[in-house]
Chains A and B, each alone.
Chain A
Amino acid sequence: MVRCCWVSAPLNLRLCDMGKSKMPPEHKKIERKLELQMNLKRNIGKITGVVALVAATIGLAVPAVQSQSRTRIKIDGSSTVFPITEAVAEEFQKEQRGSVQVTVGISGTGGGFKKFCSDNPSVRTHISDASRPMKKKEQDMCRAQGIEYIELPVAYDAITVVINRNNSWAESMTTDDLKKMWDSSGQGRITRWSQVNPNWPNEPLRLYGPGADSGTFDYFNEVIIGKGNSSRGDYTASEDDNVLVQGVAKDNTAIGYFGLAYYLENKDKIRAVAVDGVLPSPYTVNNGTYSPLSRPIYIYVNKKAADDVPALKRFVEYYLQNAREYVEEVGYVSLSDADYQKALDRFQNRETGRVPLREGL
């Protein structure tokens, strides 16, 4: 028996089970390998099972939603406008009972326009969110593609200057004070509050603001420091406004600026500064007294798509008719009813181009 094993081991191991212990070591190796292969086969079965289970889970989790027959509205652009568009999209989809699908991205105002007027039709969006009007270069890009657009203001964003709650001296300041603090000529030179205004204490001045990629940064520079000049670089910069809120809340002698929504949400931690005697609020923004730090934000609608896609037309109308409620809910300042009506008229008349709705809008 043992002898037979020697010869037949590679061919038929089962015969040799009895003589296993006497087998030479090499044969044990071969036997182990064969066992291993069988184990592997068994295990592959197990793995197939696991994979099938995972696939089935995903399959079941994805309900049978057939989207082929549905209209899809593509929106992209500014992250500042995103919360408003998201709110409108959410409610509009509910109202349409899912027959229209709306998607919203946050590529930034510039990135959004790039898609809006792309030379590749497959990435073009129907609506572009923008926290500033379209620039000349972007208008040229759209013209080159033959894309006509309707510019519609949807809300105001008020840039809010904030200080720490323990700061008792800077509740109010002028735009000149702000310019002195943020102008590039002050870099490394103006480092104490008393240097900006002699009435303020000799405390270190620490600045917090959005990074250079932000639309808020652009706008603040344009209206406070002026065109052609630049902001100083030695301040704590973050693209995440929550980081700025935290910074100012923890630093007694700090000053910073960001969108009104972040101030409203953190009123207990930081304090808003009255600029030229006016505190930011929906009221002061809407009647134009909180100037120059309030800015309109927009949506741009592709005119041809608005003509061709009935759902898009309904969406834009829904947007302008209900904007007031949703704008306030997400912490922005709404336009007056008259302005929304004007915007709606503009959309219905399909007036294209970069034209202010009225002075300052």
Chain B
Amino acid sequence: MSSLNLEEIRRNINRRQQINKIFAILGLLVIFVAILTLLGLILEMVIDGHSRISPDFFTSFPSRKPEKAGILAAWVGTSLVMVVTAVAAVPLGVAAAIYLEEYARKNLLADLIEINVTNLAGVPSIVYGLLALGLFVYQFNLGESILTAGLTLALLILPVVIVTTREALRAIPNNLREAAYALGASKWQMIWDHILPYSFGSILTGAIVGLSRAIGETAPIITIGALTFIAFLPDSPLREEFPYISFAWLQAPFTVMPIQMFNWVSRPNAEFHINAAAAGTVLIGMTLMMNGIAIYLRYLFRKDIKW
């Protein structure tokens, strides 16, 4: 009787282990399909576009002649917009997260803010574009400028920055906070001297992941009036005379990489489609570079942290 029982238990275990294996294989297959599709798409684009990538491609303005057209205005525009986005979104987002995580009391207001932040992360980007058109362009008269675009994308990634920063802050063990208090630190000293430095790596990762999303956005930028043909660069931020820095570039008209690609893709001439693939390759390169920096910084900050 007991040996029969044992047999049954063994069979049962065997069966469950088989199901376990099948699920593992299934999971692996799903991952492969996803990754291979992505790799296939990227590879096809790189193969189409690599022949056009040359120094000239980076230093030429758009042109009606595909072989002369380049992405100078687009990549400079994208870089400058990203600078504005980062400067606006990171301090705001980190500050908001610190407030929500360390200061806010659990009450209706905090709940309300929290629900809003989570929901904002899911709002389609075109809605931010319309909001920015009404607010920045028409109300504040900021024009169809780099500043407007940067602020729009900053709004777009603000929820991402807030959520990741909050997670980073939450990951710091509570006994550290208590230890700081025990030594007489004020709340702000505790945050500034301990919590922020320890979570810096994760916060940075979150910010860069947010920026990587912003760099590929087209809809909100088109809505606020980014241009398609622009054959000059914004004013240089550096000047030869005092005070050596200039912010005129903030008000300059601009275009960004995704818009340049969109325009080239919709042209009849097949040569332009190659340009679009090349620009896409560069854009993916820029995104990968940003993510690479994020990973490296996280490693740099985390390698010494052992709780």
Contact = CB atoms under 8 A, between A and B. Distances in A.
Contacts of A79: 266
Interface in A65-104: 65-68, 72, 74, 76, 79, 82-83, 85-87, 89-90, 93, 98, 101-104
Given A40-B197, A65-B232, A105-B227, A59 B238 contact: yes
Given A65-B235, A90-B64, A83 B267 contact: yes
B141 A103 contact: no
A40 B265 contact: no
Interface string A99-137: 001111111000000010000101100000000000000
B300 A43 contact: yes
B266 A241 contact: yes
Contacts of B252: 67
Contacts of B64: 83, 86-87, 90, 326, 329-330
Contacts of B237: 58-59, 62
Interface stretch (A161-169, A220-228, A259-267, A333-341): A259-267
Given A47-B297, A102-B231, A64 B143 contact: no
A50 B230 contact: no
B216 interface: no
A122 B304 contact: no
B212 to A, nearest CB: 15
B293 interface: yes
A89 B229 contact: yes
A52 interface: no
Chain B, interface residues (CB within 8 Å), range: 35 or more
Interface in B158-213: 197-198, 200
B263 interface: yes
Chain A, interface residues (CB within 8 Å), range: 35 or more
Interface in B22-71: 61-64
A264 B268 contact: yes
Given A58-B80, A102-B231, A40 B200 contact: yes
A37 B197 CA distance: 8
Nearest to A87: B64
Given A36-B304, A115-B225, A58 B79 contact: yes
B268 A89 contact: no
A120 B304 contact: no
B138 interface: yes
Interface in B231-252: 231-240, 248-249, 252
A61 B58 CA distance: 10
A105 B233 contact: no
B53 to A, nearest CB: 17
A240 to B, nearest CB: 5
Nearest to B297: A47
A160 B229 CA distance: 27
A259 B266 CA distance: 12
A245 B267 CA distance: 12
A66 B197 CA distance: 41
Interface string A240-268: 11100100000000000001011011100
A92 to B, nearest CB: 10
A9 B302 CA distance: 24
B238 A120 contact: no
Given A46-B300, A50-B293, A122-B141, A106 B268 contact: no
A241 B232 contact: no
B152 to A, nearest CB: 15
Nearest to A111: B225
Contacts of B236: 59, 62-65
A32 interface: yes
Contacts of B248: 67-68
Q: Which of A62, A65, A93 has the most CB of B within 10 A?
A: A62
Contacts of B137: 120, 122-123
A262 B141 CA distance: 39
Given A62-B76, A107-B225, A264-B268, A67 B143 contact: no
Contact of A35 (B230, B269, B304): B304
Given A46-B300, A265-B268, A106 B263 contact: yes
A261 B231 contact: no
B113 interface: no
B76 A61 contact: yes
Given A35-B304, A120-B138, A265-B270, A63 B229 contact: no
Contacts of A122: 137, 141, 143
B227 A103 contact: yes
A186 interface: no
Interface string A306-333: 0000000000000000000010011100
A348 interface: no
B280 interface: no
A62 B249 contact: yes
A123 B137 CA distance: 8
B233 A65 contact: yes
A68 B251 CA distance: 11
Contact of B63 (A76, A90, A331): A90
Interface of A: 32, 35-37, 39-40, 43, 46-47, 50, 55, 58-59, 61-68, 72, 74, 76, 79, 82-83, 85-87, 89-90, 93, 98, 101-107, 115, 120, 122-123, 239-242, 245, 259, 261-262, 264-266, 326, 329-331
9 contacts: A43-B300, A64-B238, A65-B232, A76-B225, A82-B229, A83-B267, A103-B227, A123-B144, A242-B273
Given A62-B233, A62-B234, A104-B229, 9 more contacts: A36-B305, A55-B83, A67-B248, A74-B253, A98-B232, A103-B227, A242-B265, A242-B268, A264-B268
Interface of B: 61-64, 76, 79-80, 83, 137-138, 141, 143-144, 197-198, 200, 225-240, 248-249, 252-253, 263, 265-270, 273, 293, 297, 300-301, 304-306
> Which 10 pairs show the lowest CB-CB distances between chains A and B?
A104-B229, A265-B268, A87-B64, A262-B268, A86-B229, A64-B236, A103-B227, A261-B268, A105-B227, A62-B236
